[in-house]
Structure formats: C-alpha cells, structure tokens
Amino acid sequence: SYKFWATQPVPQFDEKPAIFEEGPLKIQKVEDIPDEPIPLNLAPFRWVTMDLTDEKQMQEVEKLLYGHFVEDDEAMFRFKYSTSILKWSLMSPGWRKEWHVGIRSGDTLCAFIAAVPTEIRVRDKVIQGSEVNFLCIHKKLRGKRLAPVLIKEITRRINREGIWQAIYTGGIVLPRPVSTCRYYHRALNWQKLYEVGFSPCPSNSKPAFQVRKYALPEQTSTKGLRELQVKDLDAVHSLLERYLKRFDLTPVFNREETEHWLLHKKDSYAEQVIYSYVVEDASGKITDFFSFYLLESTVIRHPKHNSIRAAYMFYYATETAFAEPFDKGALQKRLNDLMADALILAKRHNFDVFNALSLMDNALFLEKQKFGPGDGQLHYYLFNYKANPIHGGVDKK
Ligand code: YNC
Ligand code: MG
C-alpha cells in the first residue's frame, strides 16, 4: 500500500528479518543520473534552488515551515524553526545550495526539502551519505503526490554528486525503520506546560505538587563544569569520536564538523541555538561534555502562550565510559550528575522543557532525572542501505 515507497531502494516490510550482510541495495553511476530536474507536471509550479545566504530567501523557508511543518497528532503544537536553527542545520560543513530545494507557485514558496552531506557509520562501515530533512508541503497542496516528486528530485541532486545513501527520520511509519526511539520529556517550567496542555496533572496530584516535583537547584554541582570554548575542540572531538564508537548508528564528525555542531558562534547567529558545556579536571584535561539545542514550538491558538522553548539533548560523552574494567554503575552515576546539571543550565536559560530520545546511554538517566515517556516515536531510516535492526545503545553493552 506504499505506492511510492514500494518503488524505492529501501527494505520492504514483507522481507524476512534475517541476519544479512549490510550494504547498498542499488548500485548506479553518476553518468546515468539525469542532469535535468524531475518533471513537475503540475502547473503553475516550478523548481527553485533556495539561496539561504540571502536573508529574504531564508525568511521564506522560515515562513513556510512556521505555518506548515510538523505538528503533534492533536494539532496543538508545531515546530518553529528560527532562521538561526535553519542556518545551523542546513549550512553545516560541505553544504551545497543545490540541496536546498523549493517549489514555487508564481512567487510563493509552497514546498521545500533539504539535505546536507554527512558521514554515517553503520556498525563497522562508514558511508559518505546525506541527511534529508525539512520536507514540507503547504497545507493547501497536501495529498497531491507532490512529496514523492520532492524526494525524487533531492535524490537526483544528491546522486549527481556521487552520493547514494541518506539518513532521515520521521514520526510516521514507512518501509522500513532501521531503528525506533521514543521521545522523553522533562518539565522545567511545569506550570506553563500545564497551561498550554502539554503536561496533564495526574489525577492523584495537584499543580502545586507537580511544580515542586520538577523544581531544580539554582547551582550546578559538577566541579570544573563550564561553557565549551574553541580551545577545547580537539579534546572534545577525540572524546566524542571514542564515545560514539560504543553505538551502532552514528555520524562521523571531523574536527570542523565538531566545531560547527557544538560551538556557539555569537557573531554568526542572531539567536543562540547550541549550548555546550565541558568538564575540565584539576590537571586541565577535558573529561566530559554535554550539549543541547534550542527548538521552539508554536502553541497553536492559545490566549496566553505563543511558544514553548524546548531543549533537545544533543551529543555528550564522558571518560567514565572507558574505565578499565568497564563500570556501568560509575557510568550511570556520572551521567546522572552531568544531566542534572544540564537541566539546571537549561532552566537558567529559560527553557520550558528538556527533550531526549531513548538512544545512546539515555536509559541510564532518563527516569532518575524525571523524564517521562511522550506519545511520539521517532523512526530512523536509511535510503539505499540494507542494515540489520539497530537497538538503543544501552541494551547493547
Ligand atoms: C515523510 N515524512 O507515505 P506512499 S520528516 C517520507 N517522509 O507515499 P503526498 C512521506 N515520505 O505511502 P502529502 C512522508 N510523509 O504512497 C508522507 N510520505 O509510498 C509519503 N507535512 O505524498 C507517503 N514533514 O504529496 C506517500 O503527501 C507519499 O501532500 C504521499 O505530503 C507529505 O522531513 C508531507 O511532517 C510530509 O508537509 C510533505 O504532509 C506533508 O501529505 C507535510 O500526497 C507536515 O509521501 C510536515 C512533515 C516531514 C518531516 C522529514 C524527512 C523527510 C525524508 C524524506 C525521504 C528522503 C529519502 C532520501 C532521499 C535522498 C536519497 C539519496 C541519496
Ligand atoms: Mg501533495
């Protein structure tokens, strides 16, 4: 019943889940990829390449997503990607203008899809791939089979660069997730989350009790904790590289990418997106780091609140994971200490909620730090790559 996805090089649901050799599904050559766009047989639409260095075009993308991007099932909240977070997400090292694809009707931008290059490691194999995101079609143009056209066009543009694999995520089930995670939420401003309808009050509780339950200390407790600085990047790059090897599906960041994804640059962004902290021990060694990013959600039609400021757990790592012999209890303790401080810092920066997924080592701290499971799932997909199912990090080791 997946009319489009049944035609694509992705694993299908009827294929037996046996253990198999991992690798590409379909091999092609660049010279066999058309150098003309996929036909858009739907007047008055035309393809455009969005130049996101042009403030006006960046604002057009922001506006399309502001009105039409991902909502929750009850249409209470919608992701609100600022131009700062779009710049951070879509202009990462190696980005190409041609991978910021729009459809205009007359002058109006009415659909978008984008990708950036990334190295993806699946178990012991490293793939030169791409990450696809921001697939968005104006609400008035839904259900017209425009999404497959956008996907085929970005595939063509990526293939023209000799790249044949992609990673993407989504809340909906498509053929066929390589991994599935659950969202967890930790209230920082419970009263506001309650008012906007995000956090219900349990029947055996009262608002005042809930507020107390989620209260946080003013001060962090980890000795040597401070903001990430340029001088820390080599140490953080090495620590992150080693830490990510503990998991089966990760990006491979070079030093430049580590800088881009983790270091806030005041002069480049109107608004701070990435918040990163390191722990420096008495000898000056970086022993741990963690990071989270800001993504607001619009509260749709609410008399008092316009948006929620959500912190999303991003990358983290700790030397504690490399103790010989491996000590899971020590790792758990260290991660809980670090994440307790992450919550305090997010609160200090006026975030309303801290979100994390059931991946990496998160199961070691989610419950203790008072995260609760949400309704949402996030499915991970690989395009043109067959891989055995990938489970959360903690289950594995
Ligand atoms: C989705 N999210 O199943 P079948 S996530 C992929 N990802 O195809 P139509 C999707 N496919 O079932 P509409 C999808 N949602 O017949 C729907 N589909 O095989 C499939 N929402 O097309 C769907 N953004 O145009 C069906 O649907 C076909 O008008 C139907 O448009 C869909 O960015 C959409 O949630 C999602 O803007 C654009 O509803 C629209 O409904 C919308 O008739 C709100 O399409 C925003 C939203 C999705 C966020 C994301 C990741 C996208 C990944 C795309 C796949 C990339 C593959 C790799 C390419 C590079 C390869 C290389 C190398
Ligand atoms: Mg459509």
**What does the domain layout of the chain look like in residue ranges?**
5-169, 180-396
Residue 248, Cβ neighbours under 10 Å: how many?
A: 19
In this prediction, residue 395 has a pLDDT band, given cuts at 50, 70 and 90, of very low
- If you take atom 10 of ligand 1, which residue's CA is the nearest one? 147
Question: Taking Cα atoms as reference points, which of 72, 42, 68 lies closest to residue 139?
Answer: 68
Question: Taking Cα atoms as reference points, which of 341, 314, 331 lies closest to residue 223?
Answer: 341
Which residues on neighbouring strands pair with residue 117, listed in sequence order? 130
φ/ψ (deg, to 5) at 379: -95, 140
The Å distance, Cα 138 to ligand 1 centre, comes to 12
Question: Taking Cα atoms as reference points, which of 365, 351, 353 lies closest to residue 394?
Answer: 365
The Å distance, Cα 179 to ligand 2 centre, comes to 27
Helix%, strand%, coil% for the chain, nearest 5: 30, 30, 40
Q: What is the pLDDT of residue 311?
A: 98
The Å distance, Cα 82 to ligand 1 centre, comes to 22
Q: What is the pLDDT of residue 376?
A: 82
* Distance, CA of 341 to CA of 351 (rounded, Å): 14
Question: Is residue 254 pLDDT above 50, yes or no?
Answer: yes
Q: Which residues sit with Cβ closer than 5 angstroms to ligand 2, an ion? A: 144, 146
Q: What is the pLDDT of residue 18?
A: 66
φ/ψ (deg, to 5) at 71: -120, 160
- If you take atom 61 of ligand 1, which residue's CA is the nearest one? 155
pLDDT in tens, 350-392: 999 999 999 999 999 999 999 999 988 999 999 999 999 998 7
Q: What is the pLDDT of residue 394?
A: 42
Which residues on neighbouring strands pair with residue 137, listed in sequence order? 111
* Strand ranges (E), the chain: 45-49, 77-80, 100-105, 108-122, 125-137, 165-170, 179-187, 225-227, 249-252, 274-280, 286-299, 307-318, 353-357, 372-383
Scanning the structure block, which residue is given the tokens 């990760």? 250
Structure tokens at 148: 């497959």
Looking at the chain, the whole-number percentage of residues with pLDDT higher than 90 is 94
* Distance, CA of 366 to CA of 288 (rounded, Å): 18
Q: What is the pLDDT of residue 397?
A: 39
Question: Is residue 41 pLDDT above 90, yes or no?
Answer: no
Which sign, positive or negative, has the C-alpha torsion 61, 67, 68, 70? positive
255 burial via Cβ count (<10 Å: 0-12, 13-18, 19+): middle
- Omega of the bond leading into 325 within 30 degrees of 0 (cis): yes
The answer to ipTM > 0.90 is: yes
The Å distance, Cα 146 to ligand 2 centre, comes to 4
Homologous superfamily (CATH) of 5-169 is Gcn5-related N-acetyltransferase (GNAT) (3.40.630.30)
pLDDT in tens, 374-384: 988 999 999 99
Q: What is the pLDDT of residue 16?
A: 73
Query: Do 5-169 and 180-396 show the same overall fold?
Result: yes
Ligand 1 contacts CB of residue 340 (under 6 A): no
Ligand 1 contacts CB of residue 151 (under 6 A): yes
Computed over every residue of the chain, the mean pLDDT equals 96
Question: Is residue 61 pLDDT above 50, yes or no?
Answer: yes
Ligand 1 contacts CB of residue 163 (under 6 A): yes
Helices (H) and strands (E) in the chain, counts: 9, 14
SS3 244: helix
The three state secondary structure string of 161-220 is CCCCEEEEEECCCCCCCCEEEEEEEEECCHHHHHHCCCCCCCCCCCHHHHHHHCCCCCCC
In this prediction, residue 42 has a pLDDT band, given cuts at 50, 70 and 90, of confident
pLDDT in tens, 83-127: 999 999 999 999 999 999 999 999 999 999 999 999 999 999 999
pLDDT in tens, 278-298: 999 999 999 999 999 999 999
pTM: 0.97
In this prediction, residue 19 has a pLDDT band, given cuts at 50, 70 and 90, of confident
The matching CATH number, chosen from 3.40.630.30, 3.40.1010.10, 3.40.50.170, 3.30.420.270, for 180-396 is: 3.40.630.30
pLDDT in tens, 201-228: 999 999 999 999 999 999 999 999 999 9
Which residues on neighbouring strands pair with residue 169, listed in sequence order? 380
> Cβ contacts of residue 43 below 8 Å, gap of 6+?
none
Amino acid at 297: S
Structure tokens at 374: 């949400």
Q: What is the pLDDT of residue 138?
A: 98
* Distance, CA of 311 to CA of 308 (rounded, Å): 10
